[in-house]
């Protein structure tokens, strides 16, 4: 039979074990957190606000309210999308995906710069912007002309004589824009060109044609002038000098340019505000690659 003196050490040991167990349970609880009901992770609650959002989306798309069946189908699609979205997140499909990455970058950038995109620029802002950059809106020199085309494949060796005869006829009769159409050989080239820039002239007929035409006098039939297509008889009706336009002539373009520059400035400002919250670190390999050198071997780095 055990004596009372033998029971005291036994109870003391048990008390210590219980205390240690409680302490260990507390440590595990603090480390792992309270137990989580796994069912809550997959629980998706929808409210009347969600239904209203689906209804509003339908109305914007179809310009009418949905019927009861259409609303049910649209909401079923909304639920389907949400379930699949959560499943994708659960599987980590949003990580290391360049498409998702760029989409999120665009979205956070739009949220950060939304305030600058809402405001319409005032006339004073447009004028100030245009005055500082007016040279970039300079209109190039232009030319308005009429041309009569002669096809070398059709006329062969007699093309020079044909050109001389036709030039004499054009100089004598001096036909107008309506009369010149149909003269010479048929082609896809326009007979009348109005306010065509020198660059456009080169793109259409070739650089040699452009160089010859820009030196021609105004109001006289000249030629023949060679292009990438053949020979041409040309009359310059009007030559426009390069000039800086009035703001009213290029207002739409200035509005677009100002909006773009404002958006870029807002993006830079938003990034500058966000960046200090993060510590950006480059390891030796990254630094070496950026500097165009070979990273040092860690074993010899101390030498």
Instruction: Give 207-263 pLDDT, tens digit per residue.
Output: 999 989 888 899 999 989 999 899 999 999 988 888 899 999 999 999 999 988 888
Select from 216, 240, 264 the last residue of a domain: 240
- Domain identity same for 232 and 148: yes
Give the residue from 59, 93, 127 where a domain finishes: 93
Residue 256 is assigned to a structural domain of this protein: no
The pLDDT of residue 17 is 47
pLDDT digits (tens, 9 = 90+) for 10-38: 545 444 545 544 444 444 443 344 443 44
pLDDT tens-place string over residues 196-208: 888 888 888 989 9
Where a domain ends, among 64, 93, 122? 93
Q: What is the mean pLDDT of residues 32-52?
A: 64
The alpha carbons of the chain give a radius of gyration, in whole angstroms, of: 40
Residue 251, domain member (yes or no)? no
Does the residue 222 lie in any domain? Answer: yes
In this model, does residue 40 exceed pLDDT 70? no
CATH of the domain at 175: 3.10.50.40
Instruction: Check whether residue 144 and residue 204 sit in a common domain.
Output: yes
Residue 49 lies in a domain: yes
Q: Domain check: are 146 and 208 in the same one?
A: yes
- Residue with the larger pLDDT of the pair 161 and 90: 161
pLDDT for 244-258, tens place per residue? 999 999 999 999 999
Residue 207 lies in a domain: yes
234 and 152 part of one domain? yes
Q: Please check whether residues 74 and 162 belong to one and the same domain.
A: no
Same domain, 87 and 146: no
Instruction: Give residue 298's pLDDT.
Output: 52
Identify whether 294 is part of a domain. no
First to last CA, the chain: 77
pTM summary value:
0.52
Domain with 200 in it? 140-240
Residue 280 maps to a domain: no
Average pLDDT score over the chain: 80
Listing DSSP states for the chain in one string gives ---HHHHHHHHHHHHHHHHHHHHHHHHHHHHH-S---HHHHT-----HHHHHHHHHHHHHHHSSPPPHHHHHHHHHHHHHHHHHHHHHHHTTTTTT-HHHHHHHHHHHHHHHHHHHHHSPPPHHHHHHHHHHTGGGGPBPPEEEEEEEEE-HHHHGGGHHHHHHHHHHHHHHH---HHHHTT-SS--SS-SEEEEEEHHHHHHHH-HHHHHHHTTSPBTSEEEEEE-SSSEEEEEEEEEEPPBPPPGGGSHHHHHHHHHHHHHHHHHHHHHHHHGGGS-----HHHHHHHHTSPPPPTTTTT-
Total domains, the chain? 2
232 falls within a domain = yes
């Amino acid at each position: 039979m055990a004596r009372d003196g033998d029971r005291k050490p036994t109870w003391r040991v048990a008390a210590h074990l219980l205390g240690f167990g409680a302490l260990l349970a507390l440590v595990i609880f603090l480390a792992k957190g309270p137990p989580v009901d796994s069912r809550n992770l997959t629980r998706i609650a929808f409210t009347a606000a969600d239904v209203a959002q689906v209804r509003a989306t339908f109305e914007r798309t179809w310009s009418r309210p949905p019927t009861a069946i259409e609303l049910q189908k649209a909401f079923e699609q909304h639920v389907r999308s949400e379930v699949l979205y959560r499943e994708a997140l659960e599987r980590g499909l949003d990580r290391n995906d360049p498409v998702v990455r760029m989409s999120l970058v665009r979205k956070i950038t739009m949220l950060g710069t939304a305030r600058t995109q809402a405001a319409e620029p005032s006339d004073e802002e447009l004028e100030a912007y245009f005055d500082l950059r007016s040279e970039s809106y300079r209109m190039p020199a232009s030319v308005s002309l009429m041309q009569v085309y002669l096809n070398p494949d059709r006329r062969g060796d007699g093309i020079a004589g044909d050109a001389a005869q036709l030039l004499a006829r054009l100089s004598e009769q001096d036909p107008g824009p309506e009369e010149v159409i149909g003269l010479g050989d048929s082609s896809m080239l326009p007979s009348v060109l109005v306010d065509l820039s020198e660059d456009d002239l080169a793109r259409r007929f070739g650089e040699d044609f452009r160089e010859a035409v820009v030196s021609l006098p105004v109001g006289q039939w000249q030629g023949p002038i060679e292009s990438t297509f053949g020979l041409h008889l040309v009359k310059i009706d009007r030559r426009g000098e390069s000039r800086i336009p009035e703001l009213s002539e290029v207002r739409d373009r200035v509005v677009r340019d100002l909006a773009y520059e404002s958006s870029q400035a807002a993006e830079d400002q938003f990034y500058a505000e966000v960046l200090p919250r993060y510590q950006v670190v480059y390891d030796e390999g990254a630094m070496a690659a950026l500097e165009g050198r070979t990273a040092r071997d860690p074993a010899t780095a101390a030498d």
